[in-house]
Chain A
Amino acid sequence: MRLDKVRKKFVLYAELSVFILLTVLLSVINVINFTMVAEDADHMTEMISLSSGKFFKEETPPENSDSVESKKERMKKFGMMGPDSPEMRASLRFFTYAFDKNGSAELIEYRMSALTQSDAIDLAKTLVKESTGWTNLTYRYRVYEKDKKIYVTVIDQSRELLPSYRTLIISAIGELLVLLISYLVLVKVGKSLFKQFEEADRKQKYFIANIEQDFKMPLTVISANTEVLERKNGSDEQTKAIDRQVRKMTGLVKDLGALAIFEEKDMTITDTDLSAVMREFTENQKQVFEAKNIELTADIAPDITLEGDEQALKKILSELAENALRYSLTKTSFTLRKQGDRIIISQANDTDLPNGSVDQIFDRFTTLANAKDKNTAGLGLSYVKDIVKAHNGRVSAKVVNGIFTVEIAL
């Protein structure tokens, strides 16, 4: 059913927007988190570089250094939690090697336990040509020149990174959980929400069927009695008016009855020779159109077949013809052709409507102002739309330079 597809779409889009929203939010949080750890590490390595690669005392670096935030400022910002706090400084894990032109290494400072000194030298050697960055997942390094030597300082940030990694994992799990829960809720809410739509849709169909049921006998009786009155007492303005109105209503109700609501489940799918069906149809319609002084032409490509319900497809054609009779001025054409993978059925006629899209004609109970015969309920093309949709096709209608065209892509 159509509404079922809409419901699935609703769940999909809602879920997608929750996903995008959460992903953006959590990504921003995590990126900020990691960037701040890197910034703190860079601040530390800068302090170390200012004290020539050595563990720095509280007095160093000089307060007037431009590149480093003054210690007071940072203390103000972070309080005792800041990276400059005595506790944090005391727990610094790092090493510095200095390399001279010949490449021989000199140990400047070593406050690590995870790496042996020889491993540390190897690591430092690989970093000589870099500037700053991450290595071995948790090490932040800085390479700088001093006294014609290249200093490599590597600082271990595993303790600082651990909370960030935890946050990352928690946010990933959290996102998955939220997605799962929102999916369950959406499916549940969607079902009850769409139940109302389905109910409304069903009611409308029921209503249409009822009008037909309840109106047909009264109209038949009224029209018969109107004629009885006319023949007994002669026709006058009043009986003529009744007759006109009854005829109009009879037309409307016939229209409703003929359009027993189309249900997808009623289709019987077969291999239908659309070319043959359409040729036969246009051949049969020629006289009908001629009687109304409308020239009918057909351009039908041969050997086009379609998996579909033959009766329903015939119904499409007859509704298109009804419509053409109602709106054509002097001529109408039917065409059938292939365009890529799709089969195109189109009906065109001359019109006095202005240019533009007239897709509203596919809505239920819509007739256009220029209809010649107004005794119609405006259901024909809505029915066409239902059939076409059930065949996974599309309908469109437009007016270009006085030519009205309905196109069906199947």
Chain B
Amino acid sequence: MKAVIYMNVLIADPDRDFLSSYKTLLELSENTVQTVFDGTQVMSRLAEEKFDAVILNENIPRIKCKDIVKSLNDDGIPVIVITQRKERFVTADDCIRLPFLPNELREKLDHVCKKRAVNEIG
């Protein structure tokens, strides 16, 4: 049987339709999902709660995406950046290019979390 990982995920994206659709979708798979639409919210939410993974759009307003990625790296939280130029985010755990299908994001999310889990145990 495939191991199912239940995660606490933070999605940060300026598009609210995107946020609501992926929140619902990931919650249907028993994950808990928080959504935010600007950079300051990302930082305050990160201070409040521990997340298993963050999905972050490069066009997030207020705080530079690069800075957020850096702070996530420092905290050891896996991050997937939604970007068209992945070469700009070499420290991110993974990048995904728009447009994508739900499966593509799910696979990356699983992959990133598994990799992190293996690293921590190993």
Contact = CB atoms under 8 A, between A and B. Distances in A.
A219 B100 CA distance: 8
A228 B98 contact: no
A82 B102 CA distance: 99
Interface stretch (A169-177, A249-257, A332-340): A249-257
**Interface size band for A:** 20 to 34
A247 interface: yes
Contacts of B98: 216-217, 220, 257
Given A224-B102, A250-B99, A257 B84 contact: yes
Contacts of B22: 224
**Interface size band for B:** 10 to 19
Given A221-B17, A221-B18, A224-B18, A253 B25 contact: no
A5 interface: no
B100 A250 contact: yes
A223 B18 CA distance: 10
A228 B99 contact: no
B3 interface: no
B109 to A, nearest CB: 13
A221 B21 contact: yes
B73 interface: no
B97 interface: yes
A254 B24 CA distance: 25
Given A217-B18, A257-B84, A224 B99 contact: no
Given A217-B15, A228-B25, A228-B28, A223 B84 contact: no
Contacts of B24: 228
Nearest to B97: A257
A224 B101 CA distance: 7
A216 B99 contact: yes
A224 B21 contact: yes
Given A217-B18, A217-B98, A224 B25 contact: yes
Interface string B7-26: 00000000101100110110
A254 B99 contact: yes
Nearest to A243: B101
Nearest to A226: B102
A249 B98 CA distance: 12
Contacts of B101: 223, 246-247, 250
A56 B24 CA distance: 120
Contacts of A197: none
A227 interface: yes
A231 B15 CA distance: 22
A232 interface: yes
A179 to B, nearest CB: 52
B99 A215 contact: yes
A246 B28 CA distance: 21
A217 B16 CA distance: 11
Nearest to A246: B101
Contacts of A228: 21, 24-25, 28
Given A224-B18, A257-B84, A217 B25 contact: no
Nearest to B21: A224
B28 A223 contact: no
A231 B21 CA distance: 12
Contact of A221 (B15, B28, B84, B97): B15
Interface in A215-242: 215-217, 219-221, 223-225, 227-228, 231-232
Contacts of B15: 217, 221
Contacts of B21: 221, 224-225, 228
A244 B98 CA distance: 18
Contacts of B99: 215-217, 219-220, 223, 249-250, 253-254
Given A228-B25, A232-B28, A254-B97, A223 B102 contact: yes
Given A220-B98, A250-B100, 16 more contacts: A216-B98, A220-B18, A220-B99, A221-B15, A221-B21, A223-B100, A224-B102, A225-B21, A228-B21, A228-B28, A232-B28, A246-B101, A249-B99, A254-B99, A257-B84, A257-B97
The 4 closest A-B pairs by CB, nearest first: A216-B98, A224-B21, A219-B99, A216-B99
Interface of B: 15, 17-18, 21-22, 24-25, 28, 84, 97-102
27 contacts: A216-B99, A217-B15, A217-B98, A221-B15, A221-B18, A221-B21, A223-B100, A223-B101, A223-B102, A224-B18, A224-B21, A224-B22, A224-B25, A225-B17, A225-B21, A227-B25, A227-B102, A228-B21, A228-B25, A231-B25, A232-B28, A247-B101, A250-B100, A250-B101, A253-B99, A257-B97, A257-B98
